[in-house]
A and B are shown apart, each in its own frame.
Chain A
């Protein structure tokens, strides 16, 4: 972490995040279900504005019941918009009829939390299903399915049935199936929520790979913040049927504006006070106390040799209590809890030094 890293090498600004023409665009979209027998209509979504740039991976995160499942199903017409406009590749699809949607859906792949593979079909035949539905000739189906199975690393499982596969393998079949008709967009409905963390990582790596290699746009919904951290270029936080915060993943994670967002990102960016210190921390300081600080590193500073510099330049002993350095959307991000002597002028010098290094420092309290 001592090597000087130039911003360009980190990919900052290298990715065209705000492409001029988004592939999916929600404009003031609302979704309400008609009430039954005189009851009031149920509003699932309201005032949704969201753009999915072509080639990007966009994540929508929210708790269950927040409306994210409804939101993703609007994109392939499994649920119908009841207010606002939905544009796909610039075309208004809000009022599309069922036949129109069927054509559209062949250009939009979808994968599911519970995979939704046909138990009666082999891996090969599961991947072939969307092509059969589209009326692709047999020979072309075989060639395409072989290619896809090789892509997801399941060429040796072609004659197996889903019951014989692990969860991760099932989702790989799901991905191969979703890619069969060469869609431009892939919708991921909690695609990793039924998988263990290690399998989740391998599935996310595969999604990232198809995003990069095939130029596939991915819109995913999840309640797992690590999924967003791992692969999303942009993130929208949804709560109570509304998007409460939206932006590029790194900014949202490092500077959350909404309390819900803050709670979500805390799990991956926050550093907790060690248990033995928690009870001893005080608001006000006494002579001889140590000052506990939380230092947040973002971007190029995350890899700067800050602590050793504080020691040598300011001449104070910096005691590291807890910390983590991580990558968010491919950019380094760190958070460190340290204690320094609280007596003046040392503590002032430390804070000043941190300021000149352009690091965010927050005083947590005093500890004796």
Chain B
């Protein structure tokens, strides 16, 4: 039904905006995981009496993570504009939007990974210690592989949230589906464009969620496969 009421030019815009959204989300999720994984592992293992016991650093990083997470995303985007400019050279457009998205995604992913790691049975850590494993070996060979199904679910959640955030950066000139929806759907009174944008977002979220669920289930060897 869309082809009749949406012009080919608009369709092209929607296609481009989808690509922009996907690339923003992918890069932000990738960078967020790159930083969030070690950060999450550290948060999960650095309290008193734990593998990398460093209570002071744990408290500091934990507070920083909480501060970032409690700042509303739209405020975060505006607040870090100087930082965005420093990194991306500009504060407008798809590339620039990646900076606040990554800044928001990293602590979120770190917390999700911390939770996943904390769920790993302490008995496994003890068994690995009894084998003479170093703390780093315990992380690489026990904690991360055992937490992987939960980590995948967490990252799925993070990507879904990022898709939502990426629509918000549209409001400050970030590009992508949100930007398209605001400029055409809202400001130019084109409800069909708005509807199309929402439909694409729904499909994206569905696809990401089912892929994540399936991957997590495949990785989870605690369930019997027969």
Interface residues of A (CB under 8 A from B): 76, 78, 101-106, 108, 110, 112, 114, 116, 118-121, 129-130, 132-134, 161-164, 181, 187
Contacts and interface: CB of A to CB of B under 8 A. Distances in A.
Interface of B: 121, 123-124, 126-134, 137, 141-142, 145-146, 148, 219, 221-225
A78 B130 contact: yes
A327 to B, nearest CB: 32
A105 B128 CA distance: 10
A162 B127 CA distance: 15
Nearest to B135: A98
A110 B127 contact: yes
A162 B133 CA distance: 21
27 contacts: A76-B130, A78-B129, A78-B130, A101-B132, A102-B132, A102-B133, A102-B134, A105-B130, A105-B132, A108-B130, A110-B130, A114-B123, A116-B121, A116-B124, A118-B142, A119-B146, A120-B146, A120-B148, A120-B221, A121-B145, A129-B141, A130-B132, A132-B141, A133-B132, A163-B224, A164-B224, A164-B225
Contacts of A118: 124, 142, 145-146
- The B interface is mostly helix, strand or loop, or mixed, namely helix
Contact of A116 (B127, B134, B221, B222): B127
B126 A78 contact: yes
A116 B123 contact: yes
Given A118-B146, A129-B141, A112 B132 contact: no
Contacts of B121: 114, 116
Nearest to A110: B130
Given A116-B127, A118-B145, 17 more contacts: A78-B129, A78-B130, A101-B132, A102-B133, A104-B132, A105-B130, A108-B130, A110-B130, A112-B123, A114-B121, A114-B123, A119-B222, A121-B145, A129-B141, A133-B141, A163-B222, A164-B224
Specify which of B126, B141, B221 lies most central, judged by the most chain A CB atoms within 10 Å of its CB. B221
Given A110-B127, A112-B123, A133-B137, A120 B132 contact: no
Specify which of B123, B219, B224 lies most central, judged by the most chain A CB atoms within 10 Å of its CB. B123
Nearest to B149: A120
Contacts of A120: 145-146, 148, 219, 221
Specify which of A76, A133, A162 lies most central, judged by the most chain B CB atoms within 10 Å of its CB. A133
A253 to B, nearest CB: 31
B221 A119 contact: yes
Nearest to A132: B141
B132 A106 contact: yes
Nearest to B138: A133
B5 to A, nearest CB: 51
A187 to B, nearest CB: 8
B210 to A, nearest CB: 22
A182 to B, nearest CB: 13
A69 B128 CA distance: 17
A120 B223 CA distance: 10
A121 B223 CA distance: 13
Contacts of A110: 127, 130
A106 B146 CA distance: 22
B131 to A, nearest CB: 4
Nearest to B144: A120
Contacts of B225: 161, 164
A99 B113 CA distance: 28
A361 to B, nearest CB: 49
Contacts of B222: 119, 163
B102 to A, nearest CB: 29
A257 to B, nearest CB: 34
